[in-house]
Homo-oligomer: A and B are copies of this chain.
Amino acid sequence: MDYTLLLNNFSKHITLTKKEQEFTLSLFDYKKLHSKDTLLEQGDICKQSAFVLNGCLRGFTIDSNGFEHVLSFAPKDWWIGDMYSLISKKPGNLNIETMMDSEVALLSKKNQDILYDRVPKFERFFRIIIEKSLVAFQQRLNDNLSLTAQDRYLKFCKTYPQLINEIPQKQIAAYIGVTPEFLSKLRAKQAKAK
């Protein structure tokens, strides 16, 4: 298991000594997953955050009509978890699943608290990670309030160019908030317009 990506992720916001690096990595669990494996199911209490070393996961909910809504994609170098459940310690309604064979580094809430205690720099690290995540969600909510489906799709293509050919279209539809049929129609219109 290669944790280089994780160490580089830390070093974007904080500087760790060799000792701190070793201690920190010792708190993570490495896990190899197959495509469509489940990491968290709605109704569960989320007890860990995942850092994606390789592959891609998705966080999604299932509404009362059985439709899925993708709240986040987590490709390589991203963090994913159910923040609501993680901090409230109550059952959440997020599902987390791999979209292809993936490798993750798992940090349990318990170990995260130890980490905050022993290497307080991580208070800052996760504050910054969460700030960026907050900005992304605010931006996305604003997009959903102000843009057409067409524009949201174009924006998605710009934001996640690497994902477009890697994941099923219906997942992109569930992310931008339209049915797969409508996204298909949009793409056909777009192709013709050229």
Contacts and interface: CB of A to CB of B under 8 A. Distances in A.
A38 to B, nearest CB: 19
A2 interface: no
A127 interface: yes
A16 interface: no
A71 interface: yes
Contact of A120 (B83, B120, B144, B177): B120
Nearest to A139: B84
Nearest to A134: B134
Contacts of A69: 142, 145-146
A166 interface: no
A169 to B, nearest CB: 17
10 contacts: A61-B146, A67-B146, A71-B142, A133-B134, A134-B134, A137-B137, A137-B138, A140-B141, A141-B144, A144-B144
Interface of A: 61, 63-64, 67, 69, 71, 83-84, 87, 116, 120, 123-124, 126-128, 130-135, 137-142, 144-147, 177
